[in-house]
Amino acid sequence: MKNLKTGMEPEEFKEKLSTSLTALSTHVHRLENKYRELEARGKEYFERCVDALVIGDEAHAKLYADEIAELRRLAKIILNSKLILEQVKIRLESLTELSEVIGLASSLKGIIGRVVGEVGKIAPEAASSLEDLSKQIDNFMATSSSEITESPIAVPELSDEASKIFEDAKRIVAMKLRESFPDVPILTEAERRVYTYISAMSPDKEFDIKECSLALGLTEDQVEEAIQGLQEKGMIEVAQAEAS
């Protein structure tokens, strides 16, 4: 049975849909790679920033902090676009009739266009490929007629779904960015000294609060407070700070 008066066969429809899904998968993969690249650079700058803070080099620490802030901004755009495209792909995978695609094509193009606008300066190769995908949708629609032999299948407007997709993406992005690009820590003098002491310890030596206290001229309470602060800031693990 043909879907439309133009005579597009179900097999042809499935083939075109499969092509679009493959293209989307490629774009999602490229954005994921770009995000991982930014994430790796962010981790490197974070470690450099911490090292600068420990030795009291506030000037370089600020430079690294500024770099991290910029990487976080770019990563937010990339990750948000990736999540949106993943949701578009999932939505397309659920379609089984050409009439459904026709009803959603305009909204799909709008979403893709928005993503292109956001990632154009960051990942131009991905943006270019997405523009090609948008043209594929145009070609897909050009071979189809908006006139359907039977009543169109009722499908919720993607513009409504898009709002949910965008909101869900924002929520996930915020959570992911906190993990991948943590805030640059502000160290107290005691935290800086305790961190330096721990960093200089031999890997096979157990941390001892009393020894640290005597070595640094701090009270044991000050050492414990510094350790707690370093743990909360993600700079040391609990196991590193356990007393012998």
- DSSP one-letter string for 93-131: HT--SHHHHHHHHHHHHHHHHHHHHHHTTT-HHHHHHHH
Q: With CA atoms as reference, report the closest residue to 24 among 134, 147, 121.
A: 134
* Residue scoring higher pLDDT (210 or 236): 210
Q: Which residue has the tokens 């956001």?
A: 118
Give the model's pLDDT for residue 1: 45
Give the model's pLDDT for residue 217: 94
Q: What is the DSSP letter of 212?
A: H
Q: Which residue has the tokens 């009803």?
A: 103
184-232 pLDDT tens trace = 888 889 998 999 999 888 888 889 999 999 999 999 999 999 999 988 8
* Residue scoring higher pLDDT (84 or 159): 84
pTM: 0.67
* Residue scoring higher pLDDT (158 or 127): 127
Give the model's pLDDT for residue 143: 63
User: What average pLDDT does the structure give for the chain?
Assistant: 78
pLDDT (mean) for 117-143: 74
Report the C-alpha dihedral over residues 12, 133, 176, 123, rounded to 10 degrees: 150
Domains of the chain: residue spans and CATH: 10-180 (1.20.1260), 189-241 (1.10.10)
Q: Is the pLDDT of residue 63 over 60?
A: yes
28 pLDDT band, cuts 50/70/90, is: confident
Give the model's pLDDT for residue 171: 85
Per-residue b or e along 187-226, where b marks 16 or more CB atoms closer than 10 Å to that residue's CB: beebbbbbbebbeeeeeeeebebebbbeebebeeebbbbb
**Would you mind telling me the total number of residues written for the chain in this entry?**
244
pLDDT (mean) for 85-89: 81
Amino acid identity of residue 215, one-letter, is A
Give the model's pLDDT for residue 9: 58
Q: Is the pLDDT of residue 128 over 90?
A: no
Give the model's pLDDT for residue 154: 39
Report the C-alpha dihedral over residues 139, 117, 129, 22, rounded to 10 degrees: -80
